[in-house]
Homo-oligomer: A and B are copies of this chain.
């Protein structure tokens, strides 16, 4: 599909461009130059053009980019031209917050199944419309059956690797992991870590360096 290797930061930025384009569309802007777009999302215009160039030519010289078209193009590039079902594992404090998060929908994601090793009234009552809670034993069966490819891990860190292994067995290909552990998975499975400890520590580094300077 792709001819050349695309840097990971480029994908990250495409996602930013997409959000920005959605906002522009809502504001009724129809055409935008890389210069203006760059201003809005704090990125060098040449960078934007280079990023897009990995995937083709989307602009019109002398004019700029048609907001609606570029948005559709980036969505297609990122595989966002369809809805993605997501499986959530771990319906604890964090899991319940994620279940109630409305932001996923806007991006085209839907948590349609959740798993926990405890299935009680407290957890069942946290399930929103259109999402079913299963016991963790059902993971492989349900995920295979529904052909779900994306999962979120929100269990205690001591369980995270075990859960990841089961998810891989069930055919999951992308994992968003909130547990503070680097997961070990086959290389056809992509993992992204969200690590609050690390993020806060990076903040204190910059603060200390600044104050100490």
Chain B proximity mask over A101-142: 1 for CB below 8 Å, otherwise 0: 101101101000000000000000000000000000000000
A interface list, Cβ under 8 A from B:
1-2, 8, 11-12, 14-16, 18-19, 41-42, 77-80, 84, 86, 93-94, 96-98, 100-101, 103-104, 106-107, 109, 149-150, 173-176, 180, 182, 188, 190, 192, 194, 196-210, 212-213
Give chain A's interface secondary structure class: helix
Q: Of the candidates B42, B100, B203, which one forms a contact with A176 in the assembled complex, judged by CB atoms under 8 Å apart?
A: B203
- A207 CB to closest chain B CB (Å) equals 5
CB distance from A173 to the nearest CB of B (A): 5
Q: Assuming the A-B contacts A207-B79, A207-B174, A210-B188, are A106 and B202 also in contact, with contact meaning beta carbons closer than 8 angstroms in the complex?
A: no
**With known contacts A207-B79, A212-B1, A104–B200 Cβ distance under 8 A:** yes
Interface centre among A12, A93, A94, A96 (most CB of B within 10 A): A93
Q: Verify B80–A204 contact, CB threshold 8 A.
A: yes
Q: Which of B78, B100, B200 contacts A205 (CB 8 A)?
A: B78
